[in-house]
Amino acid sequence: MSDLALAMKDLEEEKILELVKKDLAANRSPLEIIADLNQGVVGVGQLYESGEYFVSQLMFAAEILNEVMEVLEPAMAKGGSAASAGTVVIGTVAGDVHDIGKNIVHTLLKGSGYKVVDLGVDVPTDKFIDAVAEHQPKMLGMSALLSFTYPEMKAVVEALAAKGLRDKVKVVIGGAPCNEEVREYAGADLWAPTAMDTVAFANKVYAA
Ligand code: B12
């Protein structure tokens, strides 16, 4: 693990901010910095699972990540172009309030020229469907970090089909515990393990 990943795992707030600023000053890409932080956060999750960390530590990890994102955002938004590459709708599914990963996806899509309609967290099925009907995006992104919220993603995909909207929009899912199996279960088109994969997929979908 890099110093930054270790500092994240150990929740050393000041050291993390110092390392991130140093990295940015040395022109390190924000995406590489996020990859290190992600590795540290996986460590935080493991310590939580083993009972060494509690929810308060998870919350502190989130607070630190939000702080870091504020520092990284100007560098990530640099790629943005004036012309919109298209509209993307994203949100975290009902029952789930995790939003750090989704916010990174939002920032990177925006930085890549997309107009992002971000529905926030704990988004009910109807709100996703209404947003797709209203904004007619070519891509809908759903974030789920809790395994018991997977059925919510499936429900949205089924509701899209019921409204005749399924073949008009590509559905992409993400969030740490998601995988190919979850994608298949939910009936989504792509599982994006990272925000970078999301942008690459959007570029393909919107170029078509
Ligand atoms: C921070 C955190 C919290 C914070 C969230 C704060 C916030 N504003 O988001 C708080 C403290 C609130 C929290 C609460 C809970 N949490 Co929590 N949390 C985490 C933790 C440590 C980090 C998540 C995170 O932000 N990671 C960093 C981001 C950058 O990673 P990411 O989300 O995966 O995002 C990347 C990709 O997945 C992808 N991506 C993400 N979203 C999207 C969306 C789209 C559309 C696409 C395409 C891609 C994409 O791109 C991102 C960037 O590359 C994880 C541990 C872990 N290993 O993930 C647990 C974890 C997710 N939490 C867990 C649990 C159990 C809970 C609680 C139930 C705890 C409790 N007992 O209360 C509650 C549930 C609250 C709720 N109803 O949602 C479990 C879930 C287990 C499971 N599989 O179901 C985990 C895995 C911890 C664990 N190992 O047990 N949590």
Chain segment 132-172, per-residue pLDDT in tens: 999 999 999 999 999 999 999 999 999 999 999 999 999 99
Question: E-assigned strands of the chain?
Answer: 86-92, 114-118, 139-143, 170-174, 190-191
Please name the residue whose Cα sits nearest to atom 37 of ligand 1. 175
pLDDT of residue 5: 96
What ranges in 50-177 are assigned the alpha helix state H?
55-76, 100-111, 125-135, 150-162
Instruction: Calculate the CA 120 to chain-centre distance.
Output: 11
22-37 pLDDT, tens digit per residue, is 999 999 988 889 889 8
Query: What's the Cα-to-Cα distance from 206 to each of 32, 87, 151, 165, rounded to whole Å?
Result: 25, 9, 27, 17
Please name the residue whose Cα sits nearest to atom 82 of ligand 1. 146
pLDDT of residue 34: 87
pLDDT of residue 208: 81
pTM for the predicted model, two decimal places: 0.87
Atom of ligand 1 nearest to the CA of 99: 9
- Give 82 Cα–ligand 1 centroid separation in angstroms: 32
Whole-number mean pLDDT of the chain?
92
Please name the residue whose Cα sits nearest to atom 32 of ligand 1. 101
Please name the residue whose Cα sits nearest to atom 79 of ligand 1. 146
φ, ψ of residue 31 to 5 degrees: the values are -70, -35
Has residue 180 got a pLDDT over 70?
yes
Residues lining ligand 1, judged by CB closer than 6 Å? 38, 41-42, 44-45, 48-49, 55, 58-59, 61-62, 90, 95-102, 104-105, 141-143, 145-147, 172, 174-177, 192, 194-195, 198
Residue 83: pLDDT band by 50, 70, 90 thresholds?
Answer: low
Identify whether the C-beta of residue 11 lies closer than 8 Å to the C-beta of residue 64: yes
- Give 81 Cα–ligand 1 centroid separation in angstroms: 30
Please name the residue whose Cα sits nearest to atom 2 of ligand 1. 58
Pairing of strands 114-118, 139-143: unpaired
Q: Which CATH superfamily is domain 83-207 in?
A: Cobalamin-binding domain (3.40.50.280)
Burial state string for 12-33 with b = 16 or more CB within 10 A and e = fewer than 16:
bbeebeebbeebbeeebebbeb
Max avg pLDDT among 54-63, 80-89, 168-177: 168-177
Q: Which CATH superfamily is domain 3-78 in?
A: Methionine synthase domain (1.10.1240.10)
**155-164, Cβ contacts within 8 angstroms, sequence gap of 24 or more:** 155/125, 156/93, 156/125, 156/128, 156/129, 157/186, 157/187, 157/188, 158/187, 159/125, 159/126, 159/128, 159/129, 160/129, 160/132, 163/129, 163/133
Identify whether the C-beta of residue 98 lies closer than 8 Å to the C-beta of residue 66: no
Has residue 82 got a pLDDT over 60?
no
107 vs 90: which has the higher pLDDT: 90
Locate the domains of the chain by residue range.
3-78, 83-207
Atom of ligand 1 nearest to the CA of 44: 21
